[in-house]
Structure 1
Amino acid sequence: MFKQPSAADRPWWWQLVDASGAEVPVDGELAGQRFANQSDAESWVGEVWQELLDAGVAAVVLFEHDRQVYGPMKLTA
């Protein structure tokens, strides 16, 4: 039987925020993404940054479990 990875298996995640720093709820495949390592997390945001921007996300903050690694990082120049 297939078991979904737990948060412990995929500790890396992005907090998605608007220009004021408030968390932005997103739907579909953008929602609730978690990653096994920092590289996978960074690759994902590099692939979907435009979709995030279109959904109202202005910046992202990278976390490992509950530790803020870096950010907020703006999605625009």
Structure 2
Amino acid sequence: MRPTQWTWKYEDADGRALAGDNAVFPTQSDAETWIGEAWRGLRERGVENAHLWADGARVYGPLSLRPAD
């Protein structure tokens, strides 16, 4: 069965959970496209890393939101 709800969870530089925007995406591709567009704004709010979740199970992370050197 395919996941139906893809979400991001965020953490600060110390690994503490941060409140997110609670956006829900219908596909992994939609979620990944969104983070690719929104990461700068998330960084401005103190988000250091993001974790992708599908139907309550972690898919991957941490994904650093720091720009590449």
TM-score normalised by length of structure 1: 0.77
- Deviation >6 Å, runs of 4+: none
**Alignment pair present for 1:22 and 2:12:** no
**Equivalent residue in structure 1 for 2:51, among 31, 49, 61:** 61
Contact 1:10 1:37 in 2 (8 A): yes
RMSD: 1.5
| Alignment-mate amino acid for residue 54 of structure 1 | E
Which of these residues, 62, 65, 69, is aligned with residue 72 of structure 1?
A: 62
Change (3 A) 1:20 1:35: same
The match for 1:3 is: none
**Alpha-carbon distance, 1:25 to partner:** 2.0
Identical aligned pairs, as a percentage?
A: 38
| Aligned pairs, number | 65
Structure 1 distance, partners of 2:4, 2:61, is: 19
Q: Does 1:51 find its partner at 2:41? A: yes
Q: What is the distance in 1 between the residues matched to 2:37 and 2:22?
A: 16
Question: What residue identity is the alignment partner of 2:17?
Answer: E
How far did 1:66 drift? 1.2
Structure possessing the higher radius of gyration over alpha carbons: 1
Shift of 1:24: 1.2
